[in-house]
Amino acid sequence: MKVRKSSIEDINLILDIYAKARAFMKENGNPNQWYDYKPLKEDILEDISHRHHHLIYEDNKIYGCFTFFKGEDPTYKIIDDGTWLNDKNYGVIHKVASSFDKKGVFKAILNYCENEADNLRIDTHKDNHVMQNVLEKNGFKKCGIIYLHNGDERLAYQKIVRN
């Protein structure tokens, strides 16, 4: 599978993938991470405009999407009940979603991000046990708790790709 930057023309496909991801999360005990409406279309369009949103594809079929950027995430400045593995520059992975039509979407995301940054940070909801297992299986370490702008807690993970 390959990765490319998302474009505005992809928005309906992207929204469909996020709808499938929300349904999957609900079915697997995580109805509150994205509720029935997140991520917001406006947030996705903003990510696209900053060239942070990406698609996973193969043979012109989209299988997943995510946001990735290098730099500080303001919600990662304060971490409770733990500490980051290091304070070096990092890449941030957000809004990971799959169409569930093909295995290996997260592995493709991870391969891309590992080539872009020496450290990776990501967070997930405490009820998102599927994502927690995927992260830990792929070498991420749970570091503590961070807080979103609205005050919601998230479990924070980091992976050191290269020292």
Question: CA 120 to CA 93: how far, in whole Å?
Answer: 7
pLDDT at 81: 97
Neighbours of 75 (CB within 10 A): 18
pLDDT at 156: 98
Q: Per the structure block, which two tokens stand in for 134?
A: 């995927």
Under 8 Å between Cβ of 154 and 146? yes
HSE, side-chain direction, 13 A CA sphere, residue 140: 26
Give the residue carrying structure tokens 């999407």.
65
- Set out the domains of the chain in order of their start, with CATH numbers: 2-160 (3.40.630.30)
pTM of the prediction?
0.95
Q: Which residues of the chain have pLDDT under 70?
A: none
pLDDT at 32: 87
β-sheet bridge partners, residue 80: 145
pLDDT at 118: 97
